[in-house]
Structure 1
Amino acid sequence: MSFSDNKLTVRSPADLVAAVPYLLGFRPSDGSVVVIASRDRRVVFAARSDLPALGAPASHLFDITANLVPVVRRQQPITDIMIVGYGDADHFDPALRTVGEAFTASGMTVRELLRVTGTRVFNLTCDNPACCPPQGIPFDPTASLVAVQATAAGLVALPDRAAVAARFAPVDGAARDGIRRATRAAVTRLKSLTVVGSTRVDEAGAQAVRDALRQHDAGKRLTDDEVAWLTLLLKRPSARDLAIELTQPHDQHVTFWADVTRRVEEALVPAPATLLAVAAWRCGDGALAAMAADRALQVDPAYQLADLLRQALHAGLPPSVFEQAIATGRTNPSTE
């Protein structure tokens, strides 16, 4: 996951822990491990994973480290890494040390190995009671200077992953009934246009994409009819790829595609959800990007563009690699 140019001043382990939710976009729950890679004291990458539950086979932890280590190594050059785990000492201290040893064995320097339990931070790499007391370092993430800096910079830390998913959760009730009616009308309209020829459909798709983004940029929310028409046409590779090209790396376009993904008919979710993933990834929000790609694949497991994006995210690759793949024409969904 890449980050914006916002700078957070981290002076202590407590500051680092306070910064983690803003790096990820949400607050990690107990059972999480976060690996933060830095280059000359500047954070360049962060990855989160779930540690195995208590009593799980040791192979599960080795599988996690076998995935994390190469992902982080791809972010070279890296000067050092910090590892933060969330949970109780008996369960997580041995697991965190195993993760740290795996990174050390791969040639990376582990600068901090921290455990967060409740409102205290424990430093597993320092035994100096003057700076790292055995009872841990108390911290209040809401009162931290890091939180103040992050808020001033416009960074947001949602309470958990569920809150991230809620940004594009499907609408229901009257809103769902309205979009269903609009989609039925759009299908009838598209059938009439298809009779004229595929070129006219591609032209309509390009126009719908341009009009939709123009309206949003002007502060206007799409009507149900406009959402239905746009998302029906986004099944066309030409319309979808134009939308990728025109979607900019700023929060307004993330908000736009999140709204469209919430309102679209279930069968048409893959294209707008993938576009939401692209927008979020370009903005450095890897958590939202991964969850949006998963939403697309939940509806259509064969949607290759979302699958390619998810693979790139899991591999820790930058958005530019994904965009180069699109440019080569290797990412058309199998349903097209």
Structure 2
Amino acid sequence: MSEHELSPSGSFEHPVVTMRGPGDMVDALPFLLGFFPSDSIVALGLQGPRRRQGGTVRVDIPEAQVWPAAAEEVARFLVALSEHRDRSPDAVILYLCRDPAPGRSGRQVCEELRPLAALLAGAFRAAGIAVHDSLCVSEGRWWSYACDNSACCAEEGTPVDRPGSTPAVAAAAAYAGIRVRGSLKELHQELEPVAAPSAEIQLRAFEEAVPALVEELGRRGGREGVRERTVELVDAAVSRFRDGAAELPPVEAARLVLGLQDRVARDRAAEWLDPPDVGHAQRLWRFLARCCAVPFDSQAAAPLSLLGWTAWVTGDQVTARVALGRALVADPDYTFAQLLYQAVNSGAEPYDLCATLRDERRSRQRRGSGRRPGGRTRSRRGGRDRCDGGVYRQ
């Protein structure tokens, strides 16, 4: 098997690691993504004669009946992503990651996913992209669909953690300050709605807040009044989180979630993008998203999108992708989440959007119809605001 090179973060400013076989490829995967994928298809593009790392796509493994369409979509998306950044990949490494259900084994998972691996390989070859390797990772072991040599790929699989060894990619990632954030499943669990009995308390709060909001909207100038009141509540909530709060009273949380369904109010909330308050705002959006249990689960799209936005601004692309992905599960037609998700996955930077929000805030201040969140100013070196993940990483 030929060698190829990659940087754990996808940036050539970080140490480049040479991958010499499928074991190294499996070692690299969580460092490439920032988490351990579960129930995932991952396609890693490779470019040039030395097979350097290109774009990376991760999607959930769908139901078997849609595998053909999913395989074509993954290939299409990786090509589009790679061409947006640079050019189409010359080759691809495919990963299928799934832990077995109770009573099943990793080997059985490998066989169950073999048809999906074949469909993915076929879709990429149809797009003119060679398959460098195709791997299944399950139950702490890996198998190669592209290798039938029992000397290097045992039927029972190869342990992911090889005793007495420190993977080169792990050492490079430690040097570069890159860390793995746990499993994808754990990251999703951090954003799950609150469980009983808190869910019942929050549901009653929503049921109380809805008629009160309807009454507000029914007044003269009601929509504008609701919008301004929502902005005031957001400002006050961020201030409380700045002072150490970890939650809000249920009725207040419900009123905030409902108010953020208004696009203008949500965009005003997105102005909390500068340190140190962007970190407090992130904790608020996470808290509000978890308040949205059924039947108000679709309302979580707004706070989840705001969480994804602030994560993107601060350079935390792992949280940005997870939060925005969950926002689109809550409401697949939520345009704000769609646009942000596309921007993050295409490798775009948030600088222009940050500048636009700051300009809108300043214009509103000049008109005397609004104020900067928190009512404070921040000194800026050289007179310029920056929206830099390296500077603002929390």
Fold-level similarity (TM above 0.5): yes
Take 2:211 and 2:61, find their aligned partners in 1: how far apart are those partners? 50
Question: Which residue is 2:190 aligned to?
Answer: 167
Question: Which residue is 1:183 aligned to?
Answer: 206
Matches within 5 A, 1:225-264: 225-247=251-273, 253-264=281-292
Question: Which residue is 1:74 aligned to?
Answer: 84
Of structures 1 and 2, the one scoring higher in RCO (CA 8 A, sep 6+) is 1
Q: Deviations over 1:62-114 (max 9, x none)?
A: 454234322332221578664132345964664454355345x26xxx69434
Take 1:310 and 1:26, find their aligned partners in 2: how far apart are those partners? 18
Change (3 A) 1:4 1:277: farther
AA of the residue aligned to 1:21: P
Q: Secondary structure at the match of 2:85?
A: coil
Q: Please state if 1:284 is matched with 2:317.
A: yes
Which of 229, 236, 240 pairs up with 1:211?
A: 236
Question: Which residue is 2:27 aligned to?
Answer: 18
AA of the residue aligned to 1:206: V
In 2, are the aligned partners of 1:35 and 1:84 still within 8 Å (CA)? Answer: yes
Take 2:292 and 2:137, find their aligned partners in 1: how far apart are those partners? 41
AA of the residue aligned to 1:263: C
Take 2:280 and 2:53, find their aligned partners in 1: how far apart are those partners? 25
For residue 211 of structure 1, report the CA deviation from its aligned partner: 2.4
Q: Secondary structure at the match of 2:329?
A: helix
AA of the residue aligned to 2:337: A
In 2, are the aligned partners of 1:150 and 1:156 still within 8 Å (CA)? Answer: no
AA of the residue aligned to 2:125: E
Change (3 A) 1:22 1:263: farther
Normalized against structure 2, the TM-score is what? 0.60
Take 1:101 and 1:230, find their aligned partners in 2: how far apart are those partners? 50
Matches within 5 A, 1:37-186: 45-49=55-59, 61-76=71-86, 82-86=92-96, 87-88=110-111, 91=115, 94-95=118-119, 97-102=121-126, 105=128, 112-118=132-138, 119-120=141-142, 122=144, 124=146, 133=152, 135=154, 139-140=160-161, 144-145=166-167, 146-147=169-170, 150=173, 153=177, 155-160=179-184, 162-186=185-209
For residue 323 of structure 1, report the CA deviation from its aligned partner: 4.2
Q: Deviations over 1:38-77 (max 9, x none)?
A: 7998756421246788898866644542343223322215
Q: RMSD in angstroms over aligned alpha carbons?
A: 4.6
Normalized against structure 1, the TM-score is what? 0.69
Q: How many aligned residue pairs are there?
A: 314
Q: Secondary structure at the match of 1:221?
A: coil
For residue 257 of structure 1, report the CA deviation from its aligned partner: 1.9
Which runs of 5 or more residues in structure 2 are unaligned? 1-8, 97-109, 361-394
Which of 285, 294, 317 pairs up with 2:328?
A: 294
AA of the residue aligned to 1:166: Q
Question: Which residue is 2:5 aligned to?
Answer: none
Take 1:236 and 1:60, find their aligned partners in 2: how far apart are those partners? 34
For residue 217 of structure 1, report the CA deviation from its aligned partner: 3.6
Take 1:323 and 1:70, find their aligned partners in 2: how far apart are those partners? 23
AA of the residue aligned to 2:37: P
For residue 24 of structure 1, report the CA deviation from its aligned partner: 2.8
In 1, are the aligned partners of 2:45 and 2:89 still within 8 Å (CA)? Answer: no
Q: Deviations over 1:248-288 (max 9, x none)?
A: 69776544422210113616323212223333444212540
AA of the residue aligned to 1:219: G
Deviates more, 1:37-46 or 1:65-74: 37-46
For residue 308 of structure 1, report the CA deviation from its aligned partner: 3.8
